Amino acid sequence: MSASLAIAFIFCVIAGRFFYIQAIWGRELVLKATDQWNREIPVIASRGLIRDRNGSVIAGNENTYSVFVRPNAVEDKNYCAAAIAGALGLDGDAVFQKISRKGVSEVTVAAHVAAGDVEKLVACDIDGVYYARDNTRLYPYGEALCQVLGFTSTDGSGISGLEKYYDALLSGKNGEIMYTTDIVGVETENAAVVYAPAEDGSSVMLTVDARIQLAAEQVMREVYYSCGAKAVSCIVLDPQTFEILALVNYPSYDLNDVPKDDTDLLNALSRNRLVVDIYEPGSTFKIITAAADIEEYLKGNSAAFSPEHIFNSSRTRSVDGTTIKCWSDHKNGKHSNQTLAAALNNSCNPCFTDIALSLGVDTFYGYLSAFGFGNVTGIDFSGEAVGMLLPQSMVRDCDLARMGFGQTVAVTGLQLACAAAAAVNGGNYYVPRLLKGVAGEDGVFEEVSPVLKSKVISEEASRMLAEMLEGVVTEGSGKNAYIEGYKVGGKTGTAQKYEDGKIAVGKYVSSFIGFFPSDAPEYLALITVDEPQGAYYGSTVAAPAAKSVFESIIALKNIRPYE
């Protein structure tokens, strides 16, 4: 009886094993067998193009190839290694060692090989050597827009910038060529070939205008060297939609020669500082304080000052035991009897201290929030900074007083540019963006519509402010941005830098925000110059740069002067 049970048990074990192999493990074994008798050559999808708003390619592809060797299919490895080394300019011994490795069905000998070099190798007609297109990313404009575009890895996937942000759109889906081989990997005679085509990535169109970008790059390069600055930046946007037309951070690097072997240098040069870094804006922030005051005045708030109000002409204010001074020494009574317009012209700190204190913390913080400070703008770019605001409950009068003229607050360049655009475009705050459209299957670009985020001030308040800021350029501190025959508005800024919580002696950020035409803005630019040497006022360093950028736009777009 025991023998019968043992036999039955053994039979059940064997039957169970057969069932497991056939029903459960069978699919995996079939795949392994198929893999042993089949070989695949990848067909790399072509990465989608990146174009500017006019259709110019700013990130494209060069047809290059990867070279593979199946060691078991190579009869003469010495000849094979020598031929590959000669055609591709490689070390023959290194190639020989690579293709002589045991236990591998395939090795990649080289990637991103030029078509001409591959043709030399094809002429050698060596069994066991295969080729597949792999594409090499090519940037026709070199270093232009480098921190925005970013770059790709050797396998073509996005690593930084928009290449990474829109990688899912750009990358596509790889295909393959599959054929049968014998057990050692040698292609069989009359082998069946199965071709699965690659699906190329989608092309995208940016809001950037390459011509404006190149012009702004040239201007900022000249400012960088002439001022001996640590860094310079420029953003140009359409204030009616918040589309980014140009974005410059200098110094920069060539996207076709990325310094990947120096991580610290690459990290420093690839920072999109206008989006990811923050700074104290200084007097350019007075645009926001003025906008809040005008809007509250129009609403009937008695705490606001009317445009005709005459501010105290004293050059100092004492708040919480601290003294706030105006940069001017009041020679010739320059600041006597100042209205809001004159205070903007002269960039008088005490006047904006008066406004902030009069409006109060709650009202002032309400406008800071409405204008996007202390939060991200929502731009389609990774790593955007939120800026820095004191918690509202902790704000003292001396803090509020300094916020009124752009101290005790830190912003990104993008935040400030967007806030200024909303202040002068009729009061509309949009989500800034770099993507203008995506190509459909028919190749036609489907454009992305602007997204209105909020209404920050009324059209009337915006119009009044724009007129005042035009006065800053025609007769105030922004005179160096004036262009004969064109209505340019703007505001200068000169902010001291802090290190370890203390004022860094002799270190400033000079800036200028400008826009034109002032009565119906089409272009707005923010220029920042970090640590200029010698002259450091925004009026003498940044304003002339904005003028040069605007003059370039006028020439490129053939904009006629007003009559």
Q: Could you give the residue numbers annotated as active site?
A: 283
* Angle between the N-to-C axes of helices 77-88 and 115-122, in degrees from 0 to 180, rounded to the nearest 10: 150
Could you tell me which residues come within 8 angstroms of residue 337 by beta carbon, excluding any fewer than 6 positions away?
310, 313
Could you tell me which residues come within 8 angstroms of residue 551 by beta carbon, excluding any fewer than 6 positions away?
483
Angstrom distance (rounded) from CA 214 to CA 14: 76
- Which tokens is 59 given? 């990130």
Residue 406: C-alpha distances to residues 224, 477, 520 (Å): 24, 16, 26
> In the chain, helix, strand, coil percent, each to 5?
40, 25, 35
Query: Nearest 5°: phi and psi at 138?
Result: -130, 130
Closest CA to 321 of 390, 399, 410, 391: 399
Angstrom distance (rounded) from CA 337 to CA 557: 41
Scan for tokens 């935040």, then name that residue.
415
Residue 373: C-alpha distances to residues 43, 265, 369 (Å): 48, 30, 5
Provide the 10 A C-beta neighbour count for residue 54: 10
Q: Dump strand ranges (E) for 305-398.
A: 316-319, 322-325
Angstrom distance (rounded) from CA 234 to CA 563: 30
- Which tokens is 33 given? 């067998």
Closest CA to 241 of 22, 374, 434, 392: 434
Angstrom distance (rounded) from CA 82 to CA 480: 66
Provide the 10 A C-beta neighbour count for residue 17: 11
